[in-house]
Amino acid sequence: MSGSYEKGTRKMALFAAILSLSVAGAAAQAAAPAAKAAPATQATPAAPSSEFRGIKLGMDREGVIAALKKDTVFAYRGPEDISLLPSPNQSLIEVSGPSFVRRAYFQFFDGKLWTIIVELNADQVDHYSVYTSLVAKYGEPALLDPKEARWEDKAARMALERPLTLRYMDMAAYAKISEGSSAKASARELDRQGFLGGL
């Protein structure tokens, strides 16, 4: 029982270090006795993160590559990890990881990083540890359902998706891409109607 407990504690501590999620402030606040005269107040949740291990949404591809090369959590191999996507102005870096990260995807639009998807290694960390670490830093999620926990504001969205995936998204780029996708869908429907009308 104690060995299992120690193993779980080590995993939680290691993952907290990887995400740079410090829970010391939250722990100190919980441990401190509340003043009798002061009414209890709820802390304002922090804005959702727009970065993973120093790789920030909005960075250019060269900056992301430089960060991947320096970080041993990723096993960046070089140009073979970079793909051009069928959508215009989009590219993707896909890397594996030797420990906590199983696979990570960095997607670019108009030369800027707009999505980070990190599939975590379930042999190294678990969903509950990740979730509690995120809640300690960012507060309760804006959305919580069986599929995901989501924190977001106008600038960024951060989600923990089941089984064990972290997703970061630039909301301005997302709106722009969605708008373009809707326009393409409308054009396709007009083409379809024109084709059917000509039968």
Secondary structure tally for the chain: helices H, strands E: 5, 10
Note the residue count of the chain: 199
The model's pLDDT over 47-56, given as tens digits with 9 standing for 90+, comes to 889 999 999 9
Full domain range(s) for residue 54: 2-29+45-171
Question: Is 192 domain-assigned?
Answer: no
Q: Does 195 reside within a domain?
A: no
For residue 74, is it within any domain? yes
Q: Any idea which of 18-27, 67-76, 157-166 has the lowest mean pLDDT?
A: 18-27
* 103-150 pLDDT per residue, tens: 999 999 999 999 999 999 999 999 999 999 999 999 999 999 999 999
Position 13 scores a pLDDT of 42
Residue pair 23/138 in contact by the 8 Å Cβ criterion: no
What does the pLDDT average to over 53-69?
Answer: 96
Residue 118 lies in a domain: yes
> Does some domain include residue 138?
yes
* Interatomic CA distance for residues 24 and 119, integer angstroms: 26
pLDDT band at 179 (very low <50, low <70, confident <90, very high): confident
Domain-located, residue 199 = no
Residue with tokens 């060995």: 3
β pairing state of 90-96 and 51-52: unpaired
pLDDT-derived band at 88, boundaries 50, 70, 90: confident
Q: Helices (DSSP H) in 47-143: which residue ranges?
A: 61-70, 127-138
Which residues are within 8 A (CB) of 94 and not within 5 positions of it... i.e. 6 or more apart?
81, 83, 103, 104, 105, 106
Report how many domains make up the chain.
Answer: 1
- Per-residue pLDDT, averaged over 181-185, amounts to 56
Q: Each residue of 1-33: pLDDT tens digit?
A: 444 444 444 444 433 443 333 333 333 333 334
* Residue 198 is assigned to a structural domain of this protein: no
Let me know: does 147 contact 162? Beta carbons within 8 Å: yes
Do 102 and 127 form a contact (C-beta atoms < 8 A)?
A: no
Note whether residue 183 is domain-resident.
Answer: no
Which residue has better confidence, 30 or 169? 169
Q: pTM for the whole thing?
A: 0.69
